[in-house]
Structure 1
Amino acid sequence: MREGTQIILVNPRRQVLMYLRDDKPEIPYPGMWSLLGGMLEDGETPAECVRREIEEEIGVILDPTEIQHVRTRDLHYGVEHTFFARIAFEIDDVVLTEGQRLGWFGESDAAATGLAYEDNAILAEFFATPPAAVPVDAD
């Protein structure tokens, strides 16, 4: 069974960073918005994986002490480890190396968008009970 990670990256405006997946028929969920993340490599822990994936995908190095594990789900396509971290950068300050583009999504924007990998459920749960580090009200 496949094992992967994803991360809920939240800015000070309580928006979540997502990316529009490539529109290639050979990949899962082509052309859909998704949280950033990826598949574990041999010998890699989920936390190591999500940090590596973020560095590879947008060039951001996450402090391991700032990453929180949110939950692990057994899904029809494999095991998915979800993490959370606060971030403070603008999309124009990073370079996306995989996918079509990045976007910030507030709670209502995320709920109104059909997301890949059942991310709507994980974000609905996240926004309903965010970690203490996430502001309750958007600016």
Structure 2
Amino acid sequence: MEFAGSKLALFVGDKLVTLLRDDLPNIAFADHWDLPGGFAEAGETPEACALRETFEEVGAVLRAEQLCLQACYPRPVGTVAFFAAHLPADAARGLRLGDEGQRMALMTAEAFITHTRAVPHLQDWLAAYLRGRSPTAMR
């Protein structure tokens, strides 16, 4: 299956960067909490897609070596790469909402995983990532 895009579980301190999707009838998971990421541009690698989308959506500037590939998941649109990255808590000062989405919020991973209006497959992907990490690695 062809590469379609990337998603990023971006932790700032012990919080997860989340975005409330626009409430539009023509988009999937409208008015749901999402993670940074999206569709790849022509010729873009999974890492480059994750970096560009994260900058566009929340203003975070990351380097490819800060990304940790967790898995590649088949989706109806194509394969989506799922990454995780961790920044210190003070990086929250540099975050800002881009042109898409209603708002940005920092929430605990547990709050995202259990939220009734979070994108369901991202809840599963995040939970799988957290199961593979030791409790001390979340600090």
TM-score, length basis structure 1:
0.85
**Which residue number corresponds to residue 102 of structure 2?**
100
- For 1:108 and 1:33, how far apart are their aligned partners in 2? 13
Q: From 129, 133, 136, give the equivalent of 1:126.
A: 129
**Which residue number corresponds to residue 109 of structure 1?**
111
Kept in 2, the 8 Å contact 1:2–1:39? The answer is no
AA in 2 matched with 1:107 = A
- For 1:64 and 1:133, how far apart are their aligned partners in 2? 23
- 1:50 deviates by 0.7
AA in 1 matched with 2:126 = L
Kept in 2, the 8 Å contact 1:19–1:36? The answer is yes
- 1:35 deviates by 0.8
- 1:104 deviates by 1.9
Is residue 7 of structure 1 aligned with residue 34 of structure 2? Answer: no
3-state SS of paired residue (1:134):
helix
Q: Which region of structure 1 is more displaced relative to structure 2, 21-30 or 71-80?
A: 71-80
Is residue 41 of structure 1 aligned with residue 44 of structure 2? Answer: no
Structure 1 outlier segments of 4+, above 3 Å? 131-134
TM-score, length basis structure 2:
0.85
Identity of aligned residues (%): 25
- For 1:108 and 1:133, how far apart are their aligned partners in 2? 16
- For 2:108 and 2:20, how far apart are their aligned partners in 1? 15
**Which residue number corresponds to residue 69 of structure 2?**
69
Larger helix proportion, structure 1 or 2? Answer: 2
Gap runs ≥5 in structure 2: none
Q: Which region of structure 1 is more displaced relative to structure 2, 101-110 or 53-62?
A: 101-110
- For 1:133 and 1:83, how far apart are their aligned partners in 2? 19
**Structure 1 residues 86 and 109, CA, compared in 2 at 3 Å: closer, same or farther?**
same
Tell me the number of residue pairs that the alignment of Structure 1 and Structure 2 aligns. Answer: 134
- For 2:18 and 2:67, how far apart are their aligned partners in 1? 17
- 1:133 deviates by 8.4
Kept in 1, the 8 Å contact 2:23–2:31? The answer is yes
**Structure 1 residues 132 and 113, CA, compared in 2 at 3 Å: closer, same or farther?**
closer
- For 2:134 and 2:105, how far apart are their aligned partners in 1? 22
Q: CA RMSD in A?
A: 2.1
- For 1:22 and 1:16, how far apart are their aligned partners in 2? 19
Kept in 2, the 8 Å contact 1:86–1:134? The answer is no
